[in-house]
Amino acid sequence: DAGVIQSPRHEVTEMGQEVTLRCKPISGHDYLFWYRQTMMRGLELLIYFNNNVPIDDSGMPEDRFSAKMPNASFSTLKIQPSEPRDSAVYFCASSLGYTGAEAFFGQGTRLTVV
């Protein structure tokens, strides 16, 4: 298996634009997690899904952020409108069973909002 695949790897966008980050989890994994990492706040859980259903979105910072998982092999994290403070590395991770600590991480998307 190729592991968790995220795209794009890097994204530079202007403030106010919509940004969509994509994730393909490991086949067969039933949990999917979205994280954000910054120097100031470290690694934070934004939302996680179980069998494509959002379970806990309490980490989503604002209504500008939304996440979907239309099927078992694809998830998106959307920011609309984007702001400079959204600049961070966004990681997707997946696991078999809620072993959130043992999830496999994708390589991340580095987002820069100018």
Which residues are at the interface with other proteins (CB under 8 A)?
39, 41-45, 48, 56, 59, 91, 100-102, 105-108
Name which of 2 and 70 has its Cβ closer to other proteins. Answer: 2
Return the half-sphere exposure (C-beta side, CA atoms, 13 A cut-off) of residue 59.
Answer: 18
| Residue listed under structure tokens 């190729």 | 2
Name which of 8 and 16 has its Cβ closer to other proteins. Answer: 8
Name which of 71 and 99 has its Cβ closer to other proteins. Answer: 99
Name which of 33 and 82 has its Cβ closer to other proteins. Answer: 33
| Smallest distance, other proteins to C-beta of residue 6, A | 9
| Smallest distance, other proteins to C-beta of residue 81, A | 27
| Smallest distance, other proteins to C-beta of residue 71, A | 23
| Smallest distance, other proteins to C-beta of residue 16, A | 28
Q: DSSP string spanning the chain?
A: ----EEE-SEEEE-TT--EEEEEEPPTT--EEEEEEEETTTEEEEEEEEETTEEEE-TT--STTEEEEEEETTEEEEEESS--GGG-EEEEEEEESSS-GGGPEE---EEEEE-
